[in-house]
Amino acid sequence: MKILGLIIAVLTGTLLIYTTSDFPSWGDPSSPASTHLSPHYIEKTLEETSVPNIVTAVLADYRGYDTMFETTVIFGAGVACFFLLRVPRRKEPVERLYRHTLTGMTLRIKDLDEVPENLDEFERIDTLWAPYDLIIKTVCRLLIPFIQLFALYVIAHGHHSPGGGFQGGVILGASFILLAVSYDLRTAKERLREKLGGILCAVGVLIYAGTGALCLLLGLNFLDYSALASILHVDPITARSHGILIVEIGVGLAVMATMIWIYDNISSEGKYEEGL
């Protein structure tokens, strides 16, 4: 199998390298990819949408359908992970570890039908519990608000600088995953409950599709944001810029919630009890 794979890879590689002789050279401004549609985007984007970042404008406006279904794919991936891995709360008695915070003594409680939730002097720990790491926890606690602030900046400033819903959403999701890694999964889940995460994921897609449907209701094409001008009380060109921001927020929500959703399901094997 290894030799067969090597032969296939080398043969395919040779064929592909043979075809590169027809390709335009590096950085050629008159290559076919840069001559047909892209000059229109570069030259007309600013006057048509008033968004300086062409990538954002093409992503959310000119190719709005593509991005909408891309967001749906993300949502579908989150749902797929959920249905594959999530297990309902088990009925059999559980075994849990509790650590007395003052003395550092650990109790293993077996065959517990009802687990008391409010134990002031005890904290619940994972079975593979690593010793309390003060530095990591403190640094992460200090950093996470700034990471989230930066994520919001990336989403909101996507019109003028590299950024947008996908990038900001991933950073926002990473901040919650950092919380789950540096503390434990339960702490992160207390901040953003599983149900809320799922709802946010769906709400993100709904904001995107709903904006498109709103444009349809206002008498223009689906995802033609200039229809929003009458609602936002701005001229149609600025309305397209605002419409892009609205769908970027939807994309950001969906991506953030899906990243957290996938991480939670995979790291805890769908049990949500103990994560990485």
Partner 1 sequence: MRYAPCVLILPMSDLITHIVANYNYWIYITLMMIGLYAIIAKNNLVKKIVGMNIFQTAIILFYISIGAKKGATIPIIEHAHGDHGAGSSAVHAIEYINPLPHVLMLTAIVVAVATLGVALALALKVYQQYNSLEEDEILDQIREK
Site for partner 1 in 76-95 (CB under 8 A): 76-78, 80-81, 84-85
Q: Which of 201, 258, 260, 273 is close enough to bind partner 1 by CB under 8 A?
A: 258
Nearer to partner 1, 125 or 257 (CB): 257
Measured distance CA(93)–CA(111) in Å, rounded = 5
Query: Which of 172, 214, 229, 259 touches partner 1 (CB under 8 A)?
Result: 259
Residues 29-58 that bind partner 1 (CB under 8 A): 29, 31, 33-34, 37-39, 41-43, 45-47, 50, 52-55, 58
Q: Which residues contact 237 (CB under 8 A, 6 or more apart)?
A: 47, 48, 49, 50, 226
Told to check if 234 binds partner 1 by CB under 8 A, we report no
Residues 192-221 that bind partner 1 (CB under 8 A): none
Q: Does 21 bind partner 1 (CB under 8 A)?
A: yes
| Sequence-distant (≥ 6) Cβ neighbours of residue 248 within 8 angstroms | 56, 60, 155, 158, 164, 165, 168
**97-156 binders of partner 1 (CB under 8 A):** none
For residue 229, give Cα distances in angstroms to 2, 57, 156.
61, 17, 20
Cβ-based neighbours of 150, under 8 Å, separated by 6 or more: 171
Nearer to partner 1, 52 or 145 (CB): 52
